[in-house]
Structure 1
Amino acid sequence: MNPVQLTGPRVTIREFHHVPRDIDALHAIFGDAETARYLPFEPRDREDCADQIALYIDEAEKQPRAVYRLAVVLTADGEDAVPIGNAVLGTEGQRAAFVGYALRKDVWGLGYATEITRLLCEFGFETLGLHRLAARLDPENLASARVLRKLGFQLEGRIRHDLFLRDTWYDALQYSLLEEEWRAAREGIGG
């Protein structure tokens, strides 16, 4: 495996480790009903979170690597700190990928999601040579919609009945950002 580490001013995105610290941190996100309300699954128990991290490590060892499911820590706390969130970039062929993130609710509203998404965009466009990034979100997730728009993602449309969960169909909003839009925005802010 070629470990990924993306470092920003306030957050560092790194590989998950199958250790109690990372398992507990993922459970604090995926196991919390309020945090999981915008995620495409029911809240998960600790054992499920341990299984998820094992899957993330297996995915990281595949060649070529198609999915990056990564831990988010505060840069000031060091790369082995307790994660405050997770980030994902999954390739979809034709130089395209999807991005996403989930954060512990006690760190919502502090700007970390914007920095995470910016680091994922930089990784996707600059390191992986992608042409298109996409993100899907619950139409009620207004904070994530603001993050995407701030970074230049364009709303492509509403996907009706995209997810069936809790005996209900849910719609999704699809956003995308193209490589040339990313580069133009970076040049506009000093590159």
Structure 2
Amino acid sequence: MLPVRLTGPRLAIREYHHTEGDVDALHALFGDPEVTRYLPFGSCDREACADQIELYLEEAMAGERDTYRLAVTRLADAEDPRDAPPVGQASLVLGGHRSADLGCVLADEVRGRGYAGEIVGLLRGLAFGPLDLHRLTARVHVDNAASVKALTRLGFRREGRLRHDGFKDGVWSDSYLYALLADEWPGPAARGEGG
């Protein structure tokens, strides 16, 4: 598949670049304990973030790509969204039976602006459009009320609670499992969403 480039009203989603700017942005994201609070891993140092971007680029070049870890940028931050610094990350990890797990994480300074809903909407369009998937799932830490609200607003349904789904810093945690099926999403034209 060609490199991913998605554009919404305020955000763009693109492939990462192995540049100082993208490494610094990923480190600002994953180096922040507040940002990684609900993620399955703790804060990362800059070298680990550089290694992650290298892995993301290898995944993007795979013959049969099954993992999409993408940079989220704000359109207002640069004339060309390909040059804007990332303020978040979006991901789709394909599974069997035309399904994928989705996720997104945003820098602390841009949370609370409705960006998560826009990101999930763009990923939903990619999944049910060009990737021709049937089912999207998202796992959400039970204390992550903002993500629960965004998924519910976008039509995802809670299917259950996964007990002791995560283990971090010596503590078990539960997650909610949310899902959306392709036939539950009428598409961008019916919902008035841009793409």
The TM-score with structure 1 as length reference comes to: 0.96
Structure 2 Cα separation of the partners of residues 175 and 164 of structure 1: 20
2:93 to 83, 90, 93: 90
Per the alignment, residue 63 of structure 1 pairs with 63
Once the two structures are TM-superposed, the CA of residue 2 in structure 1 deviates from its matched residue by: 2.1
Q: How far does the alpha carbon of each residue in 1:27-54 deviate from its partner, in whole angstroms, 9 at most, with x for none?
A: 1111000111011101000111001000
Per the alignment, residue 18 of structure 1 pairs with 18
Task: Please list every run of 5 or more consecutive structure 2 residues that lacks an aligned counterpart in the other structure.
Answer: none
Q: How far does the alpha carbon of each residue in 1:116-144 deviate from its partner, in whole angstroms, 9 at most, with x for none?
A: 00000000001100000000010000000
Mapping of residues 9-158 of structure 1, within 5 Å: 9-76=9-76, 77=78, 78-79=80-81, 80-158=83-161
Checking the alignment, whether the CA contact within 8 Å between 1:56 and 1:69 is kept in structure 2 is yes
Structure 1 Cα separation of the partners of residues 42 and 21 of structure 2: 22
Structure 1 Cα separation of the partners of residues 192 and 35 of structure 2: 35
Matched residue type, 1:69: R
The answer to whether structure 1 residue 4 and structure 2 residue 4 are counterparts is: yes
Give the SS at the match of 2:186: helix
Structure 2 Cα separation of the partners of residues 138 and 186 of structure 1: 32
Checking the alignment, whether the CA contact within 8 Å between 1:152 and 1:185 is kept in structure 2 is no
Checking the alignment, whether the CA contact within 8 Å between 2:125 and 2:188 is kept in structure 1 is no
Q: How far does the alpha carbon of each residue in 1:129-176 deviate from its partner, in whole angstroms, 9 at most, with x for none?
A: 000000001000000000000000000010001111101111111000
Matched residue type, 1:156: E
For this pair of structures, how many residues does the alignment match? 190
Once the two structures are TM-superposed, the CA of residue 185 in structure 1 deviates from its matched residue by: 8.8
Once the two structures are TM-superposed, the CA of residue 190 in structure 1 deviates from its matched residue by: 4.9
The TM-score with structure 2 as length reference comes to: 0.94
Give the SS at the match of 1:127: coil
Structure 1 Cα separation of the partners of residues 52 and 158 of structure 2: 30
Rate the CA distance shift 1:190–1:106 in 2: closer, same or farther, 3 A. Answer: closer
Checking the alignment, whether the CA contact within 8 Å between 1:139 and 1:171 is kept in structure 2 is yes
Once the two structures are TM-superposed, the CA of residue 184 in structure 1 deviates from its matched residue by: 7.2
